[in-house]
Amino acid sequence: MSAHQQGTELDLSWISKIQVNKPAVLRRAEQIQARRPVKKEWQAAWLLKAVTCIDLTTLSGDDTASNIQRLCYKAKYPIREDLLKALNMHDKGITTAAVCVYPARVCDAVRALKAAGCDIPVASVATGFPAAQTHLKTRLEEIRLAVEDGATEIDVVINRTLVLTGQWKGSDFIKTSTGKETVNATFPVAIVMLRAIRDFFWKTGNKVGFKPAGGIRSAKDSLVWLSLIKEELGDEWMKPELFRIGASTLLADIERQIYHHVTGRYAAYHDLPMS
């Protein structure tokens, strides 16, 4: 809910006065990456927390109903059950936060999740992803069709012309990038975004979510992102309602690390065939 919806005028004049201390941001980014984010004995618990914040994503030109079905199965069963049993977490209903697909594949995802008896949300990139350089009427229609097909979350690609000319809009979440750029989720940019979220919360009382996306592939990366969220915004943001990680291959590495934590050895390719 935006400040405007709560009956207070949204005053964004303070945004134009913000200055970023770039050297300090870069030092903070180096610091967060250099240290071990989580003690070894807590790593499995933190990795499972990361799983519950993943928007499990496929955004390929060759997506088909069958690979969407596999994605949805993996979203419902992200970690092998015997590994969860070894951690006494098999009955906690651990799933990914959502699956994220192109608008044309929303129907496939909704159908697959329904068949699996699962209520994981379907998110869709809409509004002319990834460049947003299509007519407004077309972008709005794309959102409408995705929602009609069963998407409950939309990753809107903003028209960057509006940003570059200072025409800011409100949102429930802000996302680092489409994941399709040469440079995507970086820690310096994330720090600036997280502090903007914090400032906005202090000024308005509204919590805005955060989603890094693009290039987040390792379990270690996910721990660093969680640590950054905890330190910059606090425990309240460490939940899927306010934090998501957009990723396609990250889950496979998290499952490999949990396998190693449980068994003491690294998984062979056939040990985790769904990864």
> Count of residues for the chain?
275
Task: Identify each DSSP E strand in the chain by its residue range.
Answer: 54-57, 98-101, 122-126, 153-156, 173-175, 209-211, 245-247
Q: How far apart are CA 130 and CA 125, in angstroms?
A: 8
Task: Identify each DSSP E strand in 114-161 by its residue range.
Answer: 122-126, 153-156
pLDDT at 11: 72
Within 8 A by CB and 6+ apart from 129, the residues are 59, 102, 155, 157, 178, 180
Q: How far apart are CA 73 and CA 95, in angstroms?
A: 10
pLDDT at 110: 98
pLDDT at 15: 77
pLDDT at 271: 79
Average pLDDT, consecutive stretches of 10 residues, N- to C-terminus, the chain (275 residues): 48 80 94 83 93 96 95 96 94 96 97 94 93 91 97 92 82 89 88 94 93 93 95 96 96 95 86 66
Within 8 A by CB and 6+ apart from 23, the residues are none
pLDDT at 8: 57
Catalytic residue among 49, 74, 76, 175: 175
Is the Cβ–Cβ distance between 260 and 267 less than 8 Å?
yes
pLDDT at 39: 80
- β-pairing, 209-211 vs 173-175, is parallel
Catalytic residue among 211, 220, 230, 239: 211
Active site residue 175: yes
**pTM value?**
0.92
pLDDT at 196: 92
Domains observed in the chain? 12-270 (3.20.20.70)
Q: How far apart are CA 238 and CA 245, in angstroms?
A: 11
Q: Say if residue 130 is preceded by a cis peptide, omega within 30 of 0.
A: yes
Closest CA to 172 of 213, 207, 123, 130: 207
Taking each helix axis as running N to C, give the angle between helix 219-233 and helix 22-34, from 0 to 180 degrees, rounded to the nearest 10: 130
